[in-house]
């Protein structure tokens, strides 16, 4: 079994997919609003990260929701996402992103998802997103 397959079973499993998809519905309904909320949370948590981003965040917000869309579309065959995520990680390293930054990004993502989902963002939903984000972050780190 490859490292990727083992990681899929250790961190993220396809049984999380229905919960992940359900909690993406509010993101799909207002992608720019979600992205704004995410970046507000990120820069509140880690103001020093703001310097890694452009002054005009319009394109950046669009990239965020597009990337979420790519991940969501690949949930049934996550092994096909590995190359894309590793390339994305390599680009992020070129921007000055450190692996430690992924913790702040993950917490901001979970917070923004909780905001847009309200009480439907249960502890189980949070745990599913934590598992997925850990897997995504590991693939990006390998890039």
pLDDT at 4: 46
Instruction: Please tell me the distance from the alpha carbon of residue 48 to that of residue 63, in angstroms, as a whole number.
Output: 21
Residue predicted with more confidence, 112 or 2: 112
pLDDT digits (tens, 9 = 90+) for 17-66: 999 999 999 999 999 999 999 999 999 999 999 999 999 999 999 999 99
Residues spanned by the domain of 61:
3-142
pLDDT digits (tens, 9 = 90+) for 108-131: 999 999 999 999 999 999 999 999
What's the CATH number where 45 sits?
Answer: 1.10.490.10
Q: Model-level pTM?
A: 0.88
Instruction: Please tell me the distance from the alpha carbon of residue 127 to that of residue 115, in angstroms, as a whole number.
Output: 16
Q: Where are the alpha helices (DSSP H) in the chain?
A: 3-10, 17-29, 31-45, 58-73, 82-94, 101-117, 123-142
pLDDT digits (tens, 9 = 90+) for 84-106: 999 999 999 999 999 889 999 99
- Give me the number of domains the chain comprises: 1
Q: Is the pLDDT of residue 8 over 70?
A: no
Residue for token pair 């598992």: 131
pLDDT at 62: 97
């Amino acid at each position: 079994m490859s490292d990727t397959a083992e990681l899929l079973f250790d961190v993220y499993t396809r049984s999380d997919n229905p919960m992940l998809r359900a909690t993406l519905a509010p993101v799909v309904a207002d992608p720019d609003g979600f992205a704004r909320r995410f970046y507000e949370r990120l820069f509140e948590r880690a103001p020093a990260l703001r310097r890694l981003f452009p002054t005009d965040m319009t394109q950046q917000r669009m990239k965020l929701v597009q990337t979420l869309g790519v991940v969501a579309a690949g949930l049934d065959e996550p092994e096909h996402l590995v190359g894309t995520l590793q390339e994305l990680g390599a680009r992020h390293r070129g921007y000055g992103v450190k692996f430690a930054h992924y913790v702040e990004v993950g917490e901001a993502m979970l917070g923004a998802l909780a905001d847009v989902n309200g009480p439907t963002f249960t502890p189980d939903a949070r745990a599913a997103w934590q598992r997925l984000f850990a897997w995504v972050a590991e693939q990006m780190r390998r890039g």
